[in-house]
Amino acid sequence: MSTLASRVLGSATLRVGSYEEVEADHNANWQAAAVVILSSLGAAVGVRVTSPADVAILLIVAVATWISWVLLTLLIGTVLLPGNQTKADFGQLFRTTGFSSAPGVLRAFGFLPYVGGFIIAVATFWMLLSFVVAVRQALDYSSTGRAFLVCLLGWLIQGILFFGFIAVAL
């Protein structure tokens, strides 16, 4: 069994084996949630959220929207756009997509002058790529294109929810 650090690194480097490992490990749910929380904390540091209340709100909203994105992805990927081999449950997507947020930790460097915005953009794009790989593996797709379409649809809906929550909460 791999360590949390090796799983995070493997997921961030888009190693299929890392996603397959966490997909199969029913005990990795807390690890996946921890990766999402660390990634969200990185975003909070990077955009200079300093109020403890604002950090708490950001974390709650980030976890809630991640779970909603997992549910949307499960629905879209298994009901609307299933592949021939698609067989997945919430836990499998929960774990793989949780680890796919590993590159988001780099958003902590978003506060750096001149390059901070670029770092946040690259980390966010990297997270989306990771999410596609995670979904492809969890839903047993043979096509990255199908995984991308599922992720895009879920991301659009999740983004609307996230920014709606933020607008109401802050």
Contacts of 29 (CB under 8 A, 6+ apart): 91, 94, 95, 98
What is residue 68's predicted lDDT score, i.e. its pLDDT?
86
What is residue 155's predicted lDDT score, i.e. its pLDDT?
78
> What is the pLDDT confidence band of residue 72, given thresholds at 50, 70 and 90?
very high
In the predicted model, is pLDDT for residue 23 greater than 90?
yes
Q: Dihedral sign, CA of 158, 160, 161, 162?
A: positive
* 65: alpha, beta or left? (left if phi > 0; alpha if psi -120 to 50): alpha
> What is the pLDDT confidence band of residue 156, given thresholds at 50, 70 and 90?
confident
Q: What is the pTM of this model?
A: 0.89
Instruction: Compute φ and ψ for 3, nearest 5 degrees.
Output: -80, 165
> What is the pLDDT confidence band of residue 15, given thresholds at 50, 70 and 90?
very high
